[in-house]
Structure 1
Amino acid sequence: MVQPLENILVLDFSTLLPGPMATLMLAEAGAEVIKFERPVTGEDARLTEPKIDGESIGFAVLNQGKRSVAIDLKSESAKAVLRPLLEKADVIVEQFRPGVMDRLGLGYDAVREINPGIIYCSITGYGQTGPKAAVAGHDLNYVGDAGILSLSRGPDDHPTMPFGLVADIGGGTYPAVVNILLALMARQKSGQGVHLDIAMSEGAFAFAYWAHAEGVVSGRNIESGGSRLTGGLARYRLYTAADGRQIAVGALEEKFWQAFCNVIGQPPELRDDWSDPEACSAEVGRRLGSKPSTHWEPLLAAADCCCTVVKTPAEASVDPNFAARGVFDRKLNIAGKEVQSLPLPIAPEFRSSRKTVGRAASLGESNEDYGAEQPDTQ
């Protein structure tokens, strides 16, 4: 079938993670993505470890299937290269601090004069306006400012780091893709483009919707690890088995909780984790810690009570369920070696049918195609 974003041209001025993952999703759905990078070194992600024969795995995973143009955006020659692309582009994704693209002559107002239908997506930490618009930050800062880092921060002497890049991906990449697609639909009706102001710190709020209801609307104080979804109840916690493997107990509903308690032999007087959560969780921890995860895993699976052994990334990549669904079937070529491609939340019906997605372009590989000077690699 025809891919939904076929014939959509995306100009990608973003770096590192949020923007590149967004344009990767668009490319997977059929868009043509041209990635613009600084000459000589390219974007910083090309330099990151680990590498295969000198090629960054992290960069390749996020930039497969895109074209690369190495260009100095401050140069006069850049205008001649970019003008025809700006005239026909559908989407621009940029990730500079507010005002940078304006100073380069590539801000929304300037591009809109050339192309009124342009969908211009700016991804920043704190948005295009406001007192913190120009403040530097990374994912850790954004989730901290959004209040969600405080919900499960661990002990003071060994704070717990977030397991995933919630603000970068959940607050940046996903809102960017969703709003770009909405803007494309709106343009079909109006013919007009739009400037999308994506703030990663704001996008992070949705990931703790319950904290908004409890800590903001209701005005209750939420202690670290004290809420029902951050370890405040015995039925929704991580426990360590005798072999050191963790068991994720997610038995929120009463029927699952009772089924779990039956498996581990939790005494009736210690099953009420609402009235005395600490005593209840201590006994659960003692019982799960008395035997290895290999003992508990089949019993918990048979009970179907939302309790599982925590897998490593390597174990997850060969999980039979994911294998049956073809999650890791698509392959990526890095320096001539075929590896698993990053699973993306794009329905198979909207992606190309080929199993090998391709590779990340070498720096400036497409310069000649767009009339740009060949990049200096020295």
Structure 2
Amino acid sequence: MQPLEGLTVLDFTTLLPGPLASLMLAEAGARVIKVERPGGEDMRRFPPFVDGQSVLFAQLNAGKQIVTLDLKTSEDRRRLDLLIAGADVLLEQFRPGVMARLGLDYETLSARQPGLIYCSISGYGQTGPRAGAAGHDLNYQALTGLLAQSCGTAAHPALPPAQIADIGGGSFPAVMNILLAVLQRQKTGRGCHLDVAMSDAMFTFGLFAQAQRIARVPVDEHGTGLLTGGSPRYRLYPASDDRQIAVAALEDKFWWAFCDVIGLPDALRDDRKDPGATAAAVAGIIASRSSDDWGPMLEAADCCVCVVRQVHEARADPHFVDRWLFSRTISPGDTAMEQIVLPVDRAFRG
């Protein structure tokens, strides 16, 4: 028996944050009913495609029951009322005010269904001066100071390779808070309105900078922080074949082991004296050999240093193969596609 078996989720969300959250709930056993407008949501038209079907849409909505409703018609509104009456959780991702204009806001629905857990995912939350503003992942990182700490520079900014706000600020907090609300409802019998703002969580991702701010010391920005490229011990160095070597040898035991492998001169190993000189020397040594040369030596040293893998290489890594991360497939229509890897899915299924 799966942990969320018997729980019904009515999902109005589109694109990434909400659909990924409801997918996690579905993988844990919940029945998820996805409500789409006529013509379907935008992710259906998002590349890449396999046999004309969006891979991302298929991955994010596997195992869900999809219903198409035109909320402008009385017949479909009656169908929706029946779905809401049978739902434990309602998940929505519109701008604040949209659900109220449809008569589907928390106050209206909870009046007749007190046990309903209603989760709203938005960029800036349900209240505040920015509540109604448009935004995307990059905006949420930019406005919260997180992007200013990136490993790029002021002249050459670096874009993050992941949807940190969408997933880390939207999907994950939504799932966690929905599960907490389910536990609370078991104790009280009442539901609640969860206000998940993707931008709010970006301050948590910038925890080191927040600590510096509280301590009234200058906040490291534009790649100058300990974990964003400011230390020789934690940055990327290109090898002679232009492949990057990821150095994360923060602790002394790892740093000294790394220095031994590359043969860094003793005078430069205390990187507190002149970090720039140490980093330059490390860069020169790493650039003198290929990643194929460095890879086996660094792996044998077990010093938190490795070659940056391409996606196809990572998928073929014996460790991830052994954990069966890419073994499950979904079949939307007649097309078989590999399912997305979920933390809840991997943890429960083993």
Alignment partners' CA distance in 1, 2:104 and 2:213: 41
Which residue of structure 2 lines up, in the alignment, with residue 36 of structure 1? 35
Q: Is the 8 A contact 1:229 1:236 kept in 2?
A: yes
State the AA in 2 paired with 1:33. Answer: V
Alignment partners' CA distance in 2, 1:318 and 1:67: 33
1:166 aligns with 2:164: yes
State the AA in 1 paired with 2:121. Answer: I
What displacement does 1:337 show?
Answer: 3.7
Alignment partners' CA distance in 2, 1:109 and 1:240: 56
Which residue of structure 1 lines up, in the alignment, with residue 281 of structure 2? 283
Which residue of structure 1 lines up, in the alignment, with residue 5 of structure 2? 6
Change (3 A) 1:349 1:137: closer
Alignment partners' CA distance in 1, 2:84 and 2:167: 27
1:19 aligns with 2:14: no
Which residue of structure 2 lines up, in the alignment, with residue 325 of structure 1? 323
CA RMSD in angstroms, aligned pairs only: 1.4
Which residue of structure 2 lines up, in the alignment, with residue 313 of structure 1? 311
1:178 aligns with 2:171: no
What displacement does 1:347 show?
Answer: 5.0
Q: Is the 8 A contact 1:45 1:58 kept in 2?
A: yes
Alignment partners' CA distance in 2, 1:35 and 1:335: 17
Alignment partners' CA distance in 1, 2:8 and 2:60: 18
Structure 1 range deviating more: 306-315 or 176-185: 306-315
State the AA in 1 paired with 2:23. Answer: L
- Aligned pair count? 350
Segments of 5+ residues of structure 1 without an aligned counterpart are 354-378
State the AA in 1 paired with 2:41. Answer: E
- With normalisation by structure 2, the TM-score equals 0.97
State the AA in 2 paired with 1:306. Answer: C
From 240, 243, 249, the equivalent of 1:245 is 243
1:123 aligns with 2:118: no
Alignment partners' CA distance in 1, 2:286 and 2:200: 39
Alignment partners' CA distance in 2, 1:139 and 1:288: 34
| Equivalent position SS for 1:116 | coil
| Equivalent position SS for 1:10 | strand
1:17-49: CA deviation from partner (whole Å, max 9, x where unpaired): 00000000000001111111110x200000111
What displacement does 1:218 show?
Answer: 3.0
1:326-346: CA deviation from partner (whole Å, max 9, x where unpaired): 111212225534332111001
Where do residues 4-153 of structure 1 align in structure 2 (5 Å cutoff)? Answer: 4-39=3-38, 41-152=39-150
State the AA in 1 paired with 2:256. Answer: Q
Change (3 A) 1:217 1:332: farther
| Equivalent position SS for 2:201 | helix
Alignment partners' CA distance in 1, 2:337 and 2:243: 27
1:291-347: CA deviation from partner (whole Å, max 9, x where unpaired): 111101110011100001111122111211011111112122255343321110015
Alignment partners' CA distance in 2, 1:348 and 1:296: 32
State the AA in 2 paired with 1:189. Answer: K
State the AA in 2 paired with 1:75. Answer: T
| Equivalent position SS for 1:201 | coil
What displacement does 1:222 show?
Answer: 1.7
What displacement does 1:163 show?
Answer: 1.1
State the AA in 1 paired with 2:36. Answer: E
Percentage of matched positions with identical amino acids: 53
| Equivalent position SS for 2:344 | coil
Change (3 A) 1:122 1:310: same
Alignment partners' CA distance in 2, 1:169 and 1:10: 19
Alignment partners' CA distance in 1, 2:347 and 2:269: 46
What displacement does 1:147 show?
Answer: 0.7
Q: Is the 8 A contact 2:55 2:337 kept in 1?
A: no
- With normalisation by structure 1, the TM-score equals 0.90
State the AA in 1 paired with 2:291. Answer: S
State the AA in 2 paired with 1:229. Answer: L
1:223-249: CA deviation from partner (whole Å, max 9, x where unpaired): 311111001100000111111111100
Alignment partners' CA distance in 2, 1:339 and 1:318: 18
Which residue of structure 2 lines up, in the alignment, with residue 271 of structure 1? 269
Alignment partners' CA distance in 1, 2:194 and 2:334: 38
What displacement does 1:159 show?
Answer: 2.1
State the AA in 2 paired with 1:296. Answer: W
From 232, 235, 240, the equivalent of 2:233 is 235
Which residue of structure 2 lines up, in the alignment, with residue 339 of structure 1? 337
Segments of 5+ residues of structure 2 without an aligned counterpart are none
What displacement does 1:274 show?
Answer: 2.0
